[in-house]
């Protein structure tokens, strides 16, 4: 799942939600390895000839370009959200590349979660404190939003019982 509860830091619980990344670190190693083999294989036919030295820089440049492009995508990371839960506050911070972080906060006792079947996307997940409604996990798949709402409701119920 592209979300994870962070270890407890005192009384606060923290949840990170990020977009799905289709290429794992192991997959990255396989892609680079396969590309290197695919680029070197044609050079085997011209080993020891002058043409090999003419083709080698282009093969190396293609491999470096692929490496850079994939790393650039990973570093950018895309959008992610941080949810912080304490006894008296629930905060959501959305981070989008190239924009300032957007913040929302409310009292966890009054926060309500809703999964809208008829929203702009399938299983549209929202948080509301009565005054303002925000979307959560816009970049998650519908089944991930369904799992996330169950976990968040359980965490909020635990907070409400602890304060009640």
Q: 99-130: per-residue pLDDT in tens?
A: 899 999 999 889 999 999 887 888 899 999 88
pLDDT at 164: 61
The mean pLDDT value for 17-42 works out to 89
pTM assigned to the model: 0.69
In whole angstroms, give the CA distance from residue 86 to residue 159: 8
Residue 151 has pLDDT above 80, yes or no: yes
pLDDT at 75 over 80: no
Structure tokens of 80?
């992610």
69 vs 161, residue with greater confidence: 69
């Amino acid at each position: 799942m592209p979300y994870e509860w962070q270890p407890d830091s005192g009384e606060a619980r923290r949840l990170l939600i990020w977009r799905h990344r289709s290429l794992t670190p192991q997959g990255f190693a396989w892609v680079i390895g396969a590309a290197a083999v695919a680029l070197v294989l044609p050079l085997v036919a011209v080993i020891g000839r002058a043409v090999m030295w003419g083709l080698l820089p282009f093969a190396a440049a293609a491999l470096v370009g692929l490496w850079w492009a994939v790393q650039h995508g990973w570093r950018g990371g895309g959008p992610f959200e941080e949810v912080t839960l304490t006894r008296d506050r629930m905060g959501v911070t959305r981070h989008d590349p190239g924009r300032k972080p957007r913040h929302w906060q409310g009292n966890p006792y009054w926060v309500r979660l809703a999964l809208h079947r008829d929203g702009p996307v399938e299983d549209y997940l929202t948080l509301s404190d009565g005054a303002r409604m925000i979307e959560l996990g816009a970049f998650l798949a519908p089944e991930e939003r369904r799992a996330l709402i169950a976990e968040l409701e359980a965490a909020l119920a635990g907070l409400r019982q602890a304060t009640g």
